[in-house]
Each structure stands twice: as C-alpha cells, then as structure tokens.
Amino acid sequence: MESPSIVSEEDQYPECEKLKMLRPRIDAIGEFLEWLEGEDLHICGQNDNEFFYRYMGSFNSLIEKHLGISATRLESERRAMLQRCYDMNDGK
C-alpha cells in the first residue's frame, strides 16, 4: 500500500504563496500610487501618434503585471482552497 503523498501549501497554491511573500512590496507600491493620485499626478501612456493618455486601469492590475502575479491563477487557487475546505467538512 502506498503512503499518501504530502503536498505543501506552497506547492499546491504557488500563486497565493507568491502573493503572500510579495505583500510588503505590493502594499508599498499601492501606497505610492495612491499618494501620486492624491497629488494630482497620473500615470500616462503614449500611443503611436506620440500623444499621451491617462492610464485608466486599476492600480492592482499594474502591480500584478509588474510583479508577475496572475489574477486568474489566484482566483483559481482560491476557489480550490474553498472547495478543499468544503470537502474536508463533508459539504456540511
């Protein structure tokens, strides 16, 4: 009979672990971006015609892109965690 394999949470939920590890950086970047906005300073992009435009996306998506975090994978892992908790409680 094979013994059950033990899978660490790091291996099972790598994107969530990455998020946890990067939390101090995420918070610092987020605070800085909010400060910029409070100072009426904005992040801009430049199109092919060399016109500038104000970035209208969320700060979270910018931070995720910068740090290589996948919101899709995070959501998938969170759903898997919830399902695991549900299964451990026999659906009760």
Beta-sheet strands, E only, within 1-92:
44-46, 52-54
pLDDT, tens only, 43-59: 999 999 889 999 999 99
Instruction: Report the C-alpha dihedral over residues 45, 39, 19, 56, rounded to 10 degrees.
Output: -40
Q: Is pLDDT of 8 > 70?
A: no
When comparing pLDDT for 60 and 90, which is higher?
60
What mean pLDDT, rounded, does the chain reach?
A: 88
Question: Which among 43, 38, 76 has a CA at the least distance from the CA of 61?
Answer: 43
